[in-house]
Amino acid sequence: MNSQQPNELNWFKSTYSGGDGGECVEVAADTTAIHVRDSKERGGPHLAFTRSTWSGFVADLGRNRI
């Protein structure tokens, strides 16, 4: 899908992540995909989504807000 290794990506924490180092999600983007990982397991596996799949996911979250 892409040539970058997970540790070469520019990762950032979700704005919804707590400041205490608990349940945090990190996201990184490259030219072909959006990557998501658990900040406590930075060397572990991560998920990669196509940009269109990620856009649909985020749009659906916005429509379903309580």
Separation CA 38–CA 23 (nearest Å):
8
Predicted local distance difference test score (pLDDT) of residue 39: 84
The larger pLDDT score, comparing residue 61 to residue 31, is at: 31
| Among candidate residues 1, 4, 3, 7, the one with its CA nearest the CA of residue 41 | 7
- Which strand (E) or helix (H) includes residue 7? none
Predicted local distance difference test score (pLDDT) of residue 13: 85
The number of beta carbons lying within 10 Å of the beta carbon of residue 25 is 13
Predicted local distance difference test score (pLDDT) of residue 2: 45
Predicted local distance difference test score (pLDDT) of residue 62: 79
pLDDT band at residue 3, thresholds of 50, 70 and 90? Answer: very low
Give mean pLDDT, residues 41-49. Answer: 88
